[in-house]
């Protein structure tokens, strides 16, 4: 508390004091306030004696939902999709028992917060205070308009006005809540209040309609049927959450299966151990710099993991052959993207990844394989994988050379811009490195490993130098032997 700036401290005091004042007011005026509301509206609101009963039950309900799961977060492809159970309950409470009642229900959330270990006391007080203020503002708005327009959510003529009013009051609730959160965040971090507020609203506004509908459902069912019937509303939510947990489990299982199998495949070739995983990581870094959306990022990860799976179909003898490869052997290696695509063909919903795997050895200048595509003809994932693949290959030990440093690898990538690599992808990789990504690399060895007596295990065609040689191997492009091939001391130059 003491280390907070004075603006933050005074804000916290303001919120706490206002909340306490509101609470005292609510306690004093509870029966009167709700009675007045209901008298003016003519129908729909509970009698004072029942009000207390209702509030007791709502307190219980808040406790139950809050304890069962603080916030129910549904994982979706686009990140968490939150339906928290407190907002609907608070909405239902101001619909059912008016402003004063809702304030007391909101205050009971503070009691639940006390049980939570992970939050500092100041934050608990602040959050509960904000909740009380927000619910008072929203409820006051709702009843102010409702009384003047004679709108009654519980009446037999439920109208668009009633629904709109409920949505609007919920929006006010969310907006007020976000305002105070943004105020405290900006007073601590010094960022602009408006920008912070906009950011927070963007994050929480999504489930606004869902929360409003839920609150209305809870209130309706409670009012017309009884508290037991609220189970009918809450149970499906728990089921949905369970299903989303199952989905997350299945997803994790899929990724884990993939990882384990790739690992098993890689045991065949000591030098490429971990390669797939690292290429996946590097591809995600590039994808992150390009700000790809989450769906594509997931696929990109799969593509990275699977890009070399086709190597399993290349005879081991060719993969680990030391020295020069003949035409037939080159052709065998060049088949691995095709074989890889063959493996993943049956996997549903991986179209981008499939294309990426098939074309990941294409070059911008059209000298790659298997199709010899040029420039923008090469699919996005293939261009990303190409750079990630080469980068990892260069920074790892190969049989015919030591690992290069990251700087050396970047120089190499730089040198092959617009011939082998898409310049945007190279920039994206550099951007990720500049932003602090630390790739996993082998220790840099100055002299080539070949000379130190480790058995030579053949040439890695992911290596740009070797890849250049392979590209040069295309019959019509004999002229194109890259100078880097000889410069890097490759065994096949």
Partner 1 sequence: MSNWAAGAQSGNSRSANRSDAPAALLAAFISVVAIAYVMQHGILGGVGIAMAFTGFIAFGEMFRIQLPNERVAAPVASAFAVAYALVIQFGSSSQDYGVAQAVVVAAAGACIGAVSSALLGQFRQGAGPTLQVEEIVRRILTTFAVAAVFRPVAAFMLHRGYVVYGQAGQETQHGLLLALVMLVAAVLGTMADVILVGLARSTRQNAPLDRTLKDEFRESLPIGVPTTSSAVLMALAAPWMSWWALVIFAMPVLLSQFAFSRYARVVSTNESTIRALARVTELGGYTELQHADRVADLSRQVGLQLGLSSKQQLALERAALMHDIGQLSLAEAIPGGRPAPGSPFIPGGATILLELEQQHDLAKKGAAVIRDTKFLDDVADIVERQVDPYRPRGGSLDPTLPLASRIIKVANAYDDLVGGSLEADRRLQAVARLREGAGHEYDPAVVDVLARISQPRLS
Residue 72 binding partner 1, by CB under 8 A: no
Contact, 154 vs 47, CB < 8 A? no
Contact, 387 vs 462, CB < 8 A? no
Give the interface segment with partner 1, choosing from 90-98, 197-205, 312-320, 375-383 (CB under 8 A).
312-320
CB of 281 to partner 1, least distance (A): 18
Residue 249 binding partner 1, by CB under 8 A: yes
CB of 282 to partner 1, least distance (A): 22
The tokens for 184 are 């405290």
Residue placing its CB nearer to partner 1 in the complex, 24 or 261: 261
Give the interface segment with partner 1, choosing from 56-64, 323-331, 338-346, 437-445 (CB under 8 A).
338-346
Residue 320 binding partner 1, by CB under 8 A: no
Residue placing its CB nearer to partner 1 in the complex, 121 or 235: 235
CB of 191 to partner 1, least distance (A): 35
Per-residue mark of binding to partner 1, 414-443 (x: CB under 8 A) = ------------------------------
Give the interface segment with partner 1, choosing from 247-255, 389-397, 449-457, 485-493 (CB under 8 A).
247-255
The tokens for 443 are 């220790």
Q: Which of 201, 309, 397, 459 binds partner 1 (CB under 8 A)?
A: 309
CB of 52 to partner 1, least distance (A): 18
Any idea what the Cα angle at residue 21 is, between residues 17 and 25, rounded to 5°?
Answer: 170
Residue 258 binding partner 1, by CB under 8 A: yes
Residues 38-57 within binding reach of partner 1 (CB under 8 A): 42-43
Residue placing its CB nearer to partner 1 in the complex, 217 or 408: 217
Q: Which of 265, 303, 325, 409 binds partner 1 (CB under 8 A)?
A: 265
Q: Which of 5, 56, 80, 236 binds partner 1 (CB under 8 A)?
A: 236
- Using CA atoms, how far apart are residues 120 and 278, in angstroms rounded to an integer? 39
* Site size with partner 1, rule: CB under 8 A: 65
Any idea what the Cα angle at residue 170 is, between residues 169 and 175, rounded to 5°?
Answer: 95
- Using CA atoms, how far apart are residues 335 and 364, in angstroms rounded to an integer? 19
Residue 10 binding partner 1, by CB under 8 A: no
Q: Which of 10, 202, 345, 442 binds partner 1 (CB under 8 A)?
A: 345
Q: Which of 393, 391, 384, 404 is nearest to 459 (CA)?
A: 393
Contact, 472 vs 481, CB < 8 A? yes
Name the site residues for partner 1 (rule: CB under 8 A): 42-43, 74, 76, 154-158, 163, 210, 213-214, 216-217, 220-221, 224-226, 228-229, 232-233, 235-237, 239-240, 242-244, 246-247, 249-254, 256-261, 263-265, 267-268, 309-310, 312-313, 316, 339, 342-349
């Amino acid at each position: 508390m003491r280390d907070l700036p004075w603006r933050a401290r005074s804000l916290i005091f303001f919120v706490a004091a206002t909340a306490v004042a509101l609470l005292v007011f609510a306690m004093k005026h509870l029966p009167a306030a709700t009675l007045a509301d209901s008298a003016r509206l003519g129908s729909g609101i509970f009698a004072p004696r029942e009000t207390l009963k209702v509030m007791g039950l709502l307190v219980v309900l808040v406790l139950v939902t809050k304890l069962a799961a603080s916030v129910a977060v549904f994982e979706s492809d686009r990140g968490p999709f939150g339906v928290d159970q407190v907002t609907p309950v608070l909405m239902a409470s101001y619909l059912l028992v008016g402003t004063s009642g809702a304030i007391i229900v909101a205050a009971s959330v503070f009691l639940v917060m006390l049980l939570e270990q992970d939050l500092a006391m100041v934050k608990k007080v602040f959050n509960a205070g904000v909740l009380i203020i927000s619910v008072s503002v929203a409820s006051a708005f709702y009843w102010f308009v409702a009384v003047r327009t004679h709108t009654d959510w519980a009446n037999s003529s439920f109208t668009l006005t009633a629904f709109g009013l409920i949505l609007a009051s919920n929006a006010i609730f969310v907006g007020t809540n976000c305002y105070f959160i943004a105020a405290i965040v900006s007073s601590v971090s010094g960022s602009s209040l408006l920008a912070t507020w906009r950011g927070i609203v963007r994050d929480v506004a999504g489930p606004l309609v869902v929360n409003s509908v839920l609150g209305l459902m809870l209130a309706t069912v409670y009012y017309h049927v009884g508290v037991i019937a609220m189970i009918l509303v809450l149970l499906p939510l728990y089921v949905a959450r369970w299903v989303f947990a199952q989905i997350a489990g299945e997803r994790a299982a899929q990724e884990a299966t993939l990882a384990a199998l790739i690992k098993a495949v890689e045991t065949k070739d000591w030098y490429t151990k971990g390669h797939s995983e690292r290429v996946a990581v590097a591809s995600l870094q590039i994808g992150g710099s390009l700000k790809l959306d989450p769906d594509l990022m997931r696929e990109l990860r799969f593509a990275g993991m699977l890009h070399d799976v086709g190597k399993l179909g290349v005879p081991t003898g060719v993969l680990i052959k030391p020295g020069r490869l003949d035409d037939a052997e080159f052709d065998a290696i060049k088949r691995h993207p095709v074989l890889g695509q063959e493996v993943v063909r049956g996997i549903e919903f991986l179209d981008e990844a499939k294309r990426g795997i098939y074309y990941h050895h294409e070059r911008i200048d059209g000298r790659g394989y298997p199709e010899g595509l040029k420039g923008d003809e090469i699919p996005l994932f293939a261009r990303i994988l190409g750079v990630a693949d080469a980068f990892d290959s260069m920074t790892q030990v190969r049989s015919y050379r030591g690992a290069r440093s990251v700087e050396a690898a970047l120089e190499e990538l730089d040198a092959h811009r617009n011939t082998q690599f898409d310049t945007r992808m190279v920039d994206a990789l550099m951007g990720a490195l500049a932003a602090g990504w630390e790739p996993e690399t082998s220790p840099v060895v100055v002299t080539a490993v070949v000379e130190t007596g480790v058995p030579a295990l053949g040439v890695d065609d992911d290596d740009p130098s070797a890849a250049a040689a392979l590209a040069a191997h295309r019959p019509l492009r004999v002229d194109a032997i890259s100078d880097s091939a000889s410069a890097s001391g490759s065994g096949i130059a």
